[in-house]
Amino acid sequence: MGDNTIIRFDGVSKRYEDGTVVLENIEFEVERGKFYTLLGPSGCGKTTILRMIAGFTEPTGGSIYFNGQVINKVPANKRQVNTVFQDYALFPHLNVFENVAFGLRIKKMKKDAVTAKVKEALQFVNLEGYEQRSISEMSGGQKQRVAIARALVNEPEVLLLDEPLSALDLKLRTEMQYELREIQQRLGITFIFVTHDQEEALAMSDEIFVMNKGKIEQSGTPNDIYDEPINRFVADFIGESNIVPGRMIEDFLVEFNGKRFHCVDQGLRDNESIEVVIRPEDLELTTVEKGKLKVRVDTQLFRGVHYEISCYDDSGHEWLVHSTRKADPGSEIGLDFEPEAIHVMRFGESEEDFDRRLEGYEEGGVYAG
C-alpha cells in the first residue's frame, strides 16, 4: 500500500440477510487529494460502497482500511469522513447557519469557534451573507452548497458525495460540476463521488471506477477508460460506441466485417475471437472507393458540435459517426479510420491482464505501417 493511500478495500463483499449479494470481492485503493468517481447503472452497488466508507453499513467479508487501520467496526461518528446526500438531508426548520453549525454543536465546540468555522465554510462555498436565511428560501444549487459547507465544516479527510447533482437542472448541474471540482482542488482533500452519468464522471474525476452488478469492471483515468475500454459493458456505458465481433488474425492484424485491418493490438492468440470498438468520432466520412467500410446513410441528427450520422453496412450492422460534415440520408458512402482507432477487447479478460497487455503495447512499439 502506497504512502499516499487513504482508503483500501481488500476483498470486500456485502451480502444481505435475504441472500442478495450486492458486492463481490471489491478491491481498490484511494489516494489522498484526488477526485474519485464510482460510476455505474442503478443498483450496481455504488451507494453501498459509500455507506461502507461512511460507516452506515458493515461489509460481510473482507477489510476496509483507512490510513492503514481496519475500520470495519469503527462507528460512523468516529470516522474522518462526511457525506453529502442526494437529497442534501438539510434540516428544514433550521436556518443556513444552524444547518452548517449542527455537527460542531454536537461536538460541543465553543460558540466563538463555531461562528468562525461556519463563516469560513460558507465563504468557501460562496454563501457568505446567507446565514439567517431559512432553507426553504434557498434554490437547489444553494441548498447543495449548504450541504457541502455542512460537511466541510467538520474538516473531513474524505468527502463522500452520493449523486449530489441529480436534483438540479442541466445548466445548474454543469455549473456545479465545475464548482465541485474547484472546491476539491482548493481543499486538496479526497472526494468520492457517486453518479450514473458518464459525462459527469468523465468531466470531473481524476480516477473512475466503472461498476456493474456488484463488481468493478475497470478503474482508471477518464482518458484510459474512454480510450481503452476493457469490455463491451464499459465501452457501451462510457459514451456511444460501435462494437462488432471480430477475429485477431495475428499481432497487428484484425478481421471484422469480412475484411482485414491493420491495428495496434498485440499479444493475443492468433485467430482468437474478440470484439472491436471504434468510437463514432474516430470514423471519417469519405467516398465508397476510399473507405475501409462501405455503408448506407440512414439518419442524420444535428447535435450542435457535430452531426450524429447513423449508417448501415451490407450485413445490417449499424455504424454511428460523429462528424462536422453532413451526409445525405439514403446515399452510399465510405468510412475511413486509422489503425489506432480500432480497440480490440478480449472476452472475460481480467483488469490485471488487460493492464499488462496494454503496457506491453507501449514497451513493444506499435504497428509501423
Give the residues lining the site for ligand ATP (CB under 6 A): 16, 18, 20, 22, 40, 42-48, 196
**What are the angstrom distances between the C-alpha of 195 and each of 37, 284, 303?**
7, 32, 24
**Smallest distance from the beta carbon of 195 to ligand ATP, in angstroms?**
8
103/214 with CB nearer ligand ATP: 214
**Smallest distance from the beta carbon of 229 to ligand ATP, in angstroms?**
19
Rounded CA separation 208/212 (Å): 13
162/265 with CB nearer ligand ATP: 162
* Residue showing the smallest CB distance to ligand ATP in the complex: 47
215/296 with CB nearer ligand ATP: 215
Rg (CA), the chain: 24
**Smallest distance from the beta carbon of 112 to ligand ATP, in angstroms?**
40
| Amino acid identity for residue 2 in this structure | G
Beta carbons of 55 and 132 less than 8 angstroms apart? no
Strands across the sheet containing 284-286? 284-286, 332-336, 293-302, 307-312, 318-323
22/201 with CB nearer ligand ATP: 22
Give strand pairing partners of 63. Answer: 10
42/77 with CB nearer ligand ATP: 42
Q: What is the DSSP string of 254-306?
A: EEETTEEEE-S--SSPTTEEEEEEE-GGG-EEE-TTT-SEEEEEEEEEE-SSS
Rounded CA separation 249/227 (Å): 22
**Smallest distance from the beta carbon of 251 to ligand ATP, in angstroms?**
39
**Smallest distance from the beta carbon of 270 to ligand ATP, in angstroms?**
40
**Smallest distance from the beta carbon of 1 to ligand ATP, in angstroms?**
25
Rounded CA separation 206/37 (Å): 8
143/196 with CB nearer ligand ATP: 196
Beta carbons of 327 and 302 less than 8 angstroms apart? no
Q: Where are the alpha helices (DSSP H) in 107-262?
A: 111-124, 140-152, 170-187, 198-204, 222-227, 232-237
39/153 with CB nearer ligand ATP: 39
What is the torsional sign of CA 96, 98, 101, 102? negative
45/246 with CB nearer ligand ATP: 45
**Smallest distance from the beta carbon of 14 to ligand ATP, in angstroms?**
8
* DSSP conformational letter for 339: G
Beta carbons of 225 and 38 less than 8 angstroms apart? no
**Smallest distance from the beta carbon of 59 to ligand ATP, in angstroms?**
13
* DSSP conformational letter for 121: H
